[in-house]
Amino acid sequence: MNHTSSAGSANGRLTPVDIGVIFVRRIRIFIVGFLMIFGLACVFAFWGERSYEYTSMYRLGKAGPDTYLESPDMVVASAKSDWVPQAAKSIEGRIPNIRVSVSKSGEVVFLRSKETEERESSVEELHRFLLSRLIREQKQMFAAREAQLKQELTVIRRLLNQIGESGGSAANQLRAQEMDVRRQLAGLKKGSEMAEAVRSIKPVGLSWLHVIVLGMILAVMGGAVAAFIGEYIARVRSTITSAQTV
């Protein structure tokens, strides 16, 4: 066995037999390295902090069948550049992470945060702040648009009364405008809050099972590296001892 190991070393390459010899010699080092790394992985898997995803949703108000009171992209831009910095000033401590996005249809705005349970109150405060800003602006836009359309309708009705039923083409045009304004009024829809800082059922990120499996793989690799390092140190010491005795 020793002869084979020496031959492999002489050729500058480790044979499978050499590797087996090293593991047999340094099995204790391998076990210690394996247990240390695997133990740390188990501690992290079962006692490490769990992060959850908190989600808030708001359905944007509509100015018509295919138009919004404010474009979804503008809402997202305002939230990122204006509302979030304002929230950072009003919330004590580190502000929770926040992602603002819209659904594919553009109808629903999503607020998402990934934080630990200990920071749940801060997440709720941040989401409540952003939702309140969004709700207030949507209400103002809805009221302004509704008032504008009602004003247009009042003007059209006044003109129709002045022209009378025999107004000809002018009256017909005004009636068409009246129908269009009424259609726009009927298409107005207020925005609505759908959810506020709802926590995910399961933690996000790696599950404890994934951590255990990954820890086991790393433990095997770490134990092997420790065994090879132990063998290397032993051979260096042996070489030094041989040189001193000569």
Q: What average pLDDT score do residues 29-52 get?
A: 83
**With bands split at pLDDT 50, 70 and 90, how would you rate the model's confidence at 7?**
very low
Residues 157-210 pLDDT 10s: 888 888 776 667 877 888 888 898 888 888 899 999 999 999 988 887 666 777
* Whole-number pLDDT of residue 4: 41
Domain with CATH 3.30.70.1130 in the chain: 51-199
Please give the DSSP secondary-structure letter assigned to residue 61.
P
For domain 51-199, give the CATH number: 3.30.70.1130
Beta sheet of 108-116, edge-to-edge order: 99-102, 108-116, 51-59, 192-199
Strand, coil or helix: 14? coil
Q: How many residues does the chain have?
A: 246
Q: What average pLDDT score do residues 73-82 get?
A: 90
In this model, does residue 242 exceed pLDDT 90? no
* Whole-number pLDDT of residue 165: 62
* Whole-number pLDDT of residue 67: 87
In this model, does residue 11 exceed pLDDT 90? no
End-to-end Cα separation, the chain, in angstroms: 25
Q: String of b and e for 200-230 (b: at least 16 CB within 10 Å)?
A: eeebeeeeeeebbeebeeebeebbbebbbeb
- As a whole-number percent, the residues of the chain with pLDDT over 90 amount to 30
Cα distances from 151 to residues 77, 144, 163, 185, in angstroms, run 31, 11, 18, 11
- As a whole-number percent, the residues of the chain with pLDDT over 70 amount to 91
